[in-house]
Amino acid sequence: MSEGSSPRASRDTTWLRLLTIAIAWLALQQVLARYGAYLVPLSVARHLTLQTFLMIVQVVVTAAGLGLAAIVLRSLRRDMGIGLPSRWQASTILLSTPMLFVLASYVAIGIALPTLMEEIARGGAAVSQQNAGEFGRALKKDPVVLTVVWGVVFAPFAEELLFRGALWSAVASLTRRFERPREQKRDSLETFLEESAVQRAARAVWRWALQGGIATLFAAAVFGWMHADMKGGVGIVRVVSTTCLGLACGAARHVTGSVLAAVLVHFVFNLLSIGQTRRWWAVAGFSSLYGVSTLIMLVASLLAIALLVVWIARRSAQRRDAMAAAEES
């Protein structure tokens, strides 16, 4: 038994249960997504679009995953973080996610730009459209209602329960086993003063990594890899942007303790992404800069400023309340 472990922690198998659920969930999703069409009668399959089929797969897989989790885990709320975020946390997510979308888009486009330029020089825009594959074409051509229901409602809920619910929680539960017990973490004032700023920063980073940072990075990497379903520059954009989204969802899960906070981030991100693909934000007077509408950039900037103002006002109110309580005491 390591120095930082305890008999109770060593007997806790929650991480192993969660990891088993995540692996089974991922495996079932991959099998049904690849081979599930063979289980559908031909008379029915003729009338199914790709998005409809994927939505059915997600419903079946999510129901199976949650059913397995309910049987194996002691508490879905505690072990997978299935609980509501606070109003302040939800408001912060709604105001900050548009700016996240803009930043993720430019990071993805910046990394893929050399490949995209080479493809355009070689074969024009048709090459990118071809690399997008059937899925990319479906996002543009399928009925709007179907695209929104699948991409904005079903996909965020199903994917976050898997990646930030089961997988993130499994890794976080495992890494937290290496934290020191609370009584050993409390250092004396003398020890604190003897430490350098670098040592304190390193200890804070290590604590962050064990409490959820490693889980956030790992789940985001797997999430990005699972979206490597397109070729060329378009594929690079998709993988990088979904990895950035995975990092943001993991951070929301870590900070709030709620997987539904990650669902909310995913919901707003996908809504903006689908609107970008369908050119909903192509409003007269607002051009596009490297494929990102300047309208979204303007709205994202205003929302970020509003969030900053609200945060400052909230902090000021908390300080006034603390000072008033101190004066009364």
Q: Angle, to 10 degrees, between the axis of helix 14-35 and the axis of helix 168-175?
A: 150
pLDDT tens digit string along 245-295?
A: 999 999 999 999 999 999 999 999 999 988 888 778 777 666 676 667 777
Both tokens assigned to 109: 């486009």
pLDDT at position 36 over 80: yes
Which residue in the block uniquely carries the two structure tokens 């430490």?
195
Would you state the pLDDT for residue 142? 73
Cβ-based burial of 200 (10 A; exposed 0-12, middle 13-18, buried ≥19):
exposed
pLDDT at position 193 over 70: no
| 19 Rama class: left (phi>0) / alpha (psi -120 to 50) / beta | alpha
Would you state the pLDDT for residue 129? 63
pLDDT tens digit string along 89-131?
A: 999 999 999 999 999 999 998 998 888 888 777 776 666 566 5
pLDDT at position 72 over 70: yes
3-class DSSP state for residue 292?
strand
What is the Cα–Cα distance from 263 to 278, expressed in whole angstroms?
22
Average pLDDT, the chain: 83
CA dihedral of 240, 243, 245, 250, whole degrees rounded to 10:
-160
pLDDT tens digit string along 197-242?
A: 777 788 888 888 989 999 999 999 999 999 988 888 888 999 999 9
293-316 CB burial, b ≥16 within 10 A, e <16: bebbbebbeebbeebeeeeeeeee
Stretch 152-178: mean pLDDT, rounded? 94
Which neighbouring-strand residues pair with 293?
288
Would you state the pLDDT for residue 1? 39
Would you state the pLDDT for residue 2? 42
Report H helices in 124-229.
125-141, 144-148, 155-160, 168-175, 182-185, 189-194, 197-208, 214-226
One-letter amino acid for residue 113 of the chain: L
Decide which of 134 and 161 is more confident: 161
For the chain, the structural domain boundaries read 7-179+197-328
Would you state the pLDDT for residue 289? 66
Q: What global pTM score does this model have? A: 0.85
Q: Report the share of the chain in percent with pLDDT over 70.
A: 84
Would you state the pLDDT for residue 145? 85
Q: Which of 99, 82, 101, 79 is nearest to 17 (CA)?
A: 79
Q: Angle, to 10 degrees, between the axis of helix 232-256 and the axis of helix 125-141?
A: 50
pLDDT at position 143 over 70: yes
pLDDT at position 189 over 60: no
- Read off φ and ψ for residue 30, nearest 5 degrees: -65, -40
What is the Cα–Cα distance from 325 to 329, expressed in whole angstroms?
6
CA dihedral of 202, 204, 209, 212, whole degrees rounded to 10:
-170
Would you state the pLDDT for residue 191? 60
CA dihedral of 172, 178, 183, 185, whole degrees rounded to 10:
-90
Both tokens assigned to 102: 């803009």
First to last CA, the chain: 47
What is the Cα–Cα distance from 224 to 317, expressed in whole angstroms?
40
What is the Cα–Cα distance from 90 to 87, expressed in whole angstroms?
5
Q: Report the share of the chain in percent with pLDDT over 90.
A: 40
